[in-house]
Structure 1
Amino acid sequence: MVERNWKSLEFLTPPKFMGPAVWLNATTSPFLLTGFPGMEKTHHWISIPLLGVYICILLGNGTLLFLIRKDHNLHEPMYYFLAILAATDLGVTLITMPTVLGVLWLNHREIGHGACFSQAYFIHTLSIVESGVLLAMAYDRFIAICNPLRYTSILTNMRVMKIGMGVLTRASLSIMPLIIRLHWFPYCQSHVLSHAFCLHQDIIKLACADITFNRLYPVVVVFVMVLLDFLIIFFSYILILKTVMGIASREERAKTLNTCVSHICCLLVFYVTVIGLTFIHRFGKHAPHVVHITMSYVYFLFPPFMNPVIYSIKTKQIQSGILRLFSLPHTRA
């Protein structure tokens, strides 16, 4: 019985070859972030395009949020969901990029456990939120096309708010068990992380404990949430296409489908990067480490960069709103 209890608490005790003081120091030592290994001399140059993308993301998504808030023509469910998407993209970028630029500019590599775990929590939570928002936007398009007469009665402001809160709650609660367990683990391996920001899959590699739960649970989350979201979206677009094909006028069919183009493009941007990152991590073990790092930046920066561009180009209401926002007073007259 005593032996069994000792094994169950194994992850709380120092390895036999380490003294208590050494183990405590190893457990509490800060993590070290990594830029682009072997390319440290070019970090300042690498930071230039990343800074440019960062500024574009802030301006693009910030402009969308400001525009949707100020322009009463955009106070509709579709644009409320777009605002949530823009806020999510801003959140992911603001959480990751200051740390990245700190590593590339100042070689500021140390990050405390609490800060690292918090960053990982928000990064993974907002990734799940983005998937949920894209699902909500698909629901909006489904109701608008398949049940247009009841659109305003179904997607009321209160229901949009409840959907948004549900998406956020689902994501935050699903990621919480993983991050809570990170606080329990001792870290007596190397404290060097493989990115310039904290990810759960990197942190658990440094733990001296049984990490079976932390390896299996994320797979369940991805399948139950992200994959399920994708399947529901796919099925909703089959129903949308079926409804559109029943419209007699060719021009009306094209006009109706055109309202879905922006959302479809955002779906492709998000899920293609997710699949690409997953493919690299699972099957690209022999690929250079810089490829893994670059793909991670693509995953975190490409969707936030492209989403406002897509909606600005493909949505006439957003274009008109931007023109009204930046037009001079005498131009309005």
Structure 2
Amino acid sequence: MLRPNGSVFTPSVLTLIGIPGLESVQCWIGIPFCFMYLMAVIGNTLILVIIKYENSLHSPMYIFLAMLGATDIALSTCILPRMLGIFWFHLTEISFDACLLQMWLIHSFQATESGVLLAMALDRYVAICNPLRHASIFSQKLLTHIGIGVVLRAIVLVAPCIVLIKYRLKFYRTTVISHSYCEHMAIVKLATEDIRINKILGLFVAFTILGFDISFITLSYFQIFVTVFQLPQKEARLKAFNTCIAHICVFLQFYLLGFFSFFTHRFGSHIPPYVHILLSSLYLLVPPFLNPIVYGVKTKQIRDRVLKMIFSKRHPDH
């Protein structure tokens, strides 16, 4: 196979430049990003601790919330420390294998989060539309299978993208990635070979996961709303609807940000590159930052536990 002129054969090191066009202000952009990351880690860790030690919260809804919190911590940790290293300390170099690992982890955790959100929607559907069978359907065994299933689905679907990049794409026009983290298409576009199969595979994975999950989440909530509005008592309707508000907010912020980032990245050729990169970075940081806030405000059991922890520290027993 002939080597294209000026190309690099399977580079050992890549360079992440951060946000092209905003290099001079990256150090300031890192401040709100760091704040969101710290709040995401603290907030989700707090939720995990509360759910673990509060026996009344050992129900399927809160177990799925714990899965979501753990995924959010892992997802934001995959991207932010490396990004801050670029913004603040100019640590732009990353090994090729480490870049592929970061890409695999990021997209796998995104797919895992989508699967957890689907499980949460199905849990609310059974709890509201068929409450008498909820305990028997969502057994501890099923929860374990769901947790393993959403993780394995993410790993299996994302892995072929990594394998194709590693073993099919050999020659690269440049080793400089115009991005703040190792994103699939940002790496693929560096190659000199035909990248259509990688683009098609990336789109297939995205639509397989997001399309499947969004379809069933939408169907679940359509059935939930139909059931809620058929309840005879207004108080019962409000109570049932209130149990879903936090979930709906989390679903919307995750998928709306995801679709907005996806379509601007692929069809917004006239939009400056730094806008694409900022949107894709916010898509990974905003949901982990907002999710514990949403659940802390809208879920009474978690809110009461947090308030109890705060006031017990202010007024210790003597």
TM-score bucket of the superposed structures, by smaller chain: over 0.9
SS across alignment from 1:190: coil
Q: Distance in 2 between matches of 1:306 and 1:323?
A: 19
Corresponding residue for residue 254 of structure 2? 270
* Structure 2 CA distance for partners of 1:147 and 1:331, relative to 1, 3 Å: farther
Match of 1:183 among 166, 170, 173: 166
* Letter of the structure 1 residue corresponding to residue 85 of structure 2: G
| Structure-1 residue corresponding to 2:226 | 242
Instruction: Say whether 1:305 aligns with 2:293.
Output: no
Residues 222-278 of structure 1: CA deviation (Å, up to 9, x unaligned) = 222211111111111111112112211011111111100000000110111011102
Greater C-alpha Rg: 1
Q: Structure 1's 253 and 16: CA in aligned 2 closer, same or farther, altered over 3 A?
A: closer
Structure 1's 211 and 243: CA in aligned 2 closer, same or farther, altered over 3 A? same
Return the alpha-carbon distance in structure 2 between the equivalents of residues 46 and 313 of structure 1.
Answer: 28
When structure 1 is superposed on structure 2, of 48-57 and 257-266 the one drifting more is 48-57
Q: 1:328 Cα shift?
A: 2.2
Aligned with 2:3 (options 2, 10, 15):
15
| 1:149 equivalent in alignment to 2:132 | yes
- Aligned match for 1:315, one of 299, 309, 313: 299
The answer to whether structure 1 residue 208 and structure 2 residue 192 are counterparts is: yes
* Distance (Å, rounded) in 1 between the aligned partners of 2:250 and 2:80: 21
Q: Is residue 121–residue 179 contact of structure 1 (8 Å, CA) maintained in 2?
A: yes
Q: Which consecutive residues of structure 2, in runs of 5 or more, have no partner in the other structure? A: none
- Structure 1 regions of 5+ residues with no counterpart? 1-12
Q: Quick check: 2:4–2:171 contact (8 Å CA) kept in 1?
A: no
Counterpart check, 1:123 vs 2:106: yes
Is the Cα contact below 8 Å between 2:118 and 2:216 reproduced in 1? Answer: yes
Mapped partners of 2:272, 2:231: distance in 1: 51
1:39 paired to 2:22: yes
Query: What are the Cα deviations for residues 253-308 of structure 1, in whole angstroms up to 9, with x where unaligned?
Result: 11111100000000110111011102211221111111111101211111111111
Contact 1:189 1:208 survives alignment (8 Å): yes
Q: Which residue of 1 aligns with 2:82?
A: 99
How does 1:76-87 map onto structure 2 within 5 Å? 76-87=59-70
Q: Is the 8 A contact 2:22 2:274 kept in 1?
A: no
Aligned 8 A contact 2:172 2:191 in 1: yes
SS at match of 1:286: coil
Matched-pair contact (CA < 8 Å) for 2:11–2:175: no
Number of aligned residue pairs:
316
- Separation of aligned partners in 2, 1:216 and 1:196: 23
CA deviation map 1:58-87 (0-9, x unaligned): 111111111111111211100000011111
**In structure 2, how many angstroms separate the alpha carbons of the residues matched to 1:212 and 1:152?**
47
CA distance in 2, matches of 1:197, 1:144: 40
CA displacement 1:145-188 (0-9 Å, x = unmatched): 01111111111122111111111111110011110111112133
TM-score normalized by structure 2? 0.95
Give the share of equivalent positions with the same residue, in percent.
Answer: 40
By how many angstroms is 1:332 displaced?
Answer: 7.5
Cα displacement (A) at 1:210: 2.6
Aligned equivalents of 1:45 and 1:244: distance in 2?
Answer: 47
Equivalent position of 1:133 in the other structure:
116
- Does structure 1 residue 287 correspond to structure 2 residue 271? yes
* 2:4–2:192 Cα contact (<8 Å) kept: no
Distance 1:199 1:135 in 2: 24
Q: Decide which of 52, 56, 60 is 1:73's aligned counterpart.
A: 56
Shift of 1:106: 0.9
Question: Which has the higher relative contact order, 1 or 2, with Cα contacts under 8 A spaced 6 or more apart?
Answer: 2
Residue of structure 1 equivalent to 2:183 = 199
1:61 aligns with 2:44: yes
Kindly tell me: are residues 187 and 111 of structure 1, through their superposed partners in 2, closer, same or farther at Cα, counting changes over 3 Å? farther
Shift of 1:17: 4.1
Q: Secondary structure at the match of 1:260?
A: helix
> CA shift at 1:26, angstroms?
4.2
3-state secondary structure, aligned to 2:193: coil
